[in-house]
Amino acid sequence: MASAIDPPARIKICGLSTRETLDAALALGVDWIGLVHFPRSPRHVDFASAAALSSQARGRAERVVLLVDPDDVLLSRAVEAIDPDLIQLHGRESPERVTAIRASTGRPVMKALGLATTADLAALPAYAAVADRILLDAKAPPDAALPGGNGRSFDWTILAGLDLPSGTMLSGGLDAGNVAEALARTQLGAVDVSSGVETAPGVKDPGKIAAFVAAARATR
C-alpha cells in the first residue's frame, strides 16, 4: 500500500510530436517524454523533427526514443539525431538483441512487454536480467496495426504478488480517470500514457496531459 511518504509517481508522456504539446508536458515537469520513430504510427516523427523536439526537452525531461525491431543502421541514426537518454524497444527484440543494443549504443534500454495473461509474464525474468527498465503494456491484438499505443488496458490483477524489477513502468489504456486506480492496484511507481491524453490518434491535448499528470500525482 502506498503511504504518504512515497515519492510521487513518475510520468512518461509518449508520442509527443509538436512543440506546443511537448512544451505542455515539460511545463508540468513530467519525467520522460517519448518520441516515436515508427512510420506506421500516427505519432511518428522523422529524425529532423525528433532532433528538434529532443533539443527542446534537453535538461528538462529524459528523452526516450521508441523504436520497433530496429536494425543497427536505424539505431545509430536515431542515437545520432535524437541523443536519447533511454531507448524504448517496442517490438519482438530478444533478450540477446536487447543486450547487443545496450552495448552498441551505450544507452540505457527499456524493453516493452505486451501482457494479456499470466503466461505472457514468463518472458519477464530474461528481459529483466538485461534491460535497464521494463515497460508493461497491453498485448496488441493479432490484427492490430501497431504493437503499442492502442489505448488498451490489460488485467492488472495478473501482476498481484509478483516481485517486479525496480523502476518497472506501467502502460496500456491509462488515462486521467483510471491512473490512480492502476497505481494503487499495481503498487508501481511509474506510468506511461499515449492515447489517453489525445483527442484523436496522434493528436495530443494539453488539457488531457494536465489532467493525467494531476491524477497520477494525486495518488501519493
Ligand X SMILES: O=C(O)c1ccccc1NCC(=O)[C@H](O)[C@H](O)COP(=O)(O)O
Q: Which residues here bind ligand X, judged by CB under 6 A?
A: 14-15, 34, 36, 38, 41, 43, 66, 68, 90, 137, 146-152, 171-174, 192-196
Q: Is the Cβ of residue 43 or residue 111 nearer to ligand X in the bound state?
A: 43
Q: Is the Cβ of residue 8 or residue 173 nearer to ligand X in the bound state?
A: 173
Please report the DSSP string for 150-204 in residue order. Answer: S-----GGGGTT--PPTT-EE-SS--TTTHHHHHHHH--SEEEESGGGEEETTEE
The DSSP bridge pattern shows strands 169-170 and 62-67 to be unpaired
Min dist. Cβ of residue 3 to ligand X (A): 27
Q: Is the Cβ of residue 70 or residue 196 nearer to ligand X in the bound state?
A: 196
Please, which residues have CB within 8 angstroms of residue 57's CB and are 6 or more apart in sequence? 22, 26, 33, 63
Min dist. Cβ of residue 51 to ligand X (A): 19
Stated as kind and residue range, the H or E segment containing 24 is: helix 19-27
Task: Give the three cell numbers for residue 202.
Answer: 496522434
The rounded distance, in Å, linking the Cα atoms of 194 and 148 is 9
Phi, psi (rounded to 5 degrees) for 175: -155, 180
Min dist. Cβ of residue 1 to ligand X (A): 25
Min dist. Cβ of residue 138 to ligand X (A): 6
Min dist. Cβ of residue 152 to ligand X (A): 6
Q: Is the Cβ of residue 158 or residue 161 nearer to ligand X in the bound state?
A: 158
Q: Is the Cβ of residue 81 or residue 171 nearer to ligand X in the bound state?
A: 171
SS3 193: strand
User: Which residue lies nearest ligand X, judged by its C-beta?
Assistant: 149
Q: Is the Cβ of residue 93 or residue 192 nearer to ligand X in the bound state?
A: 192
Min dist. Cβ of residue 157 to ligand X (A): 18
Amino acid at position 175, single letter = D
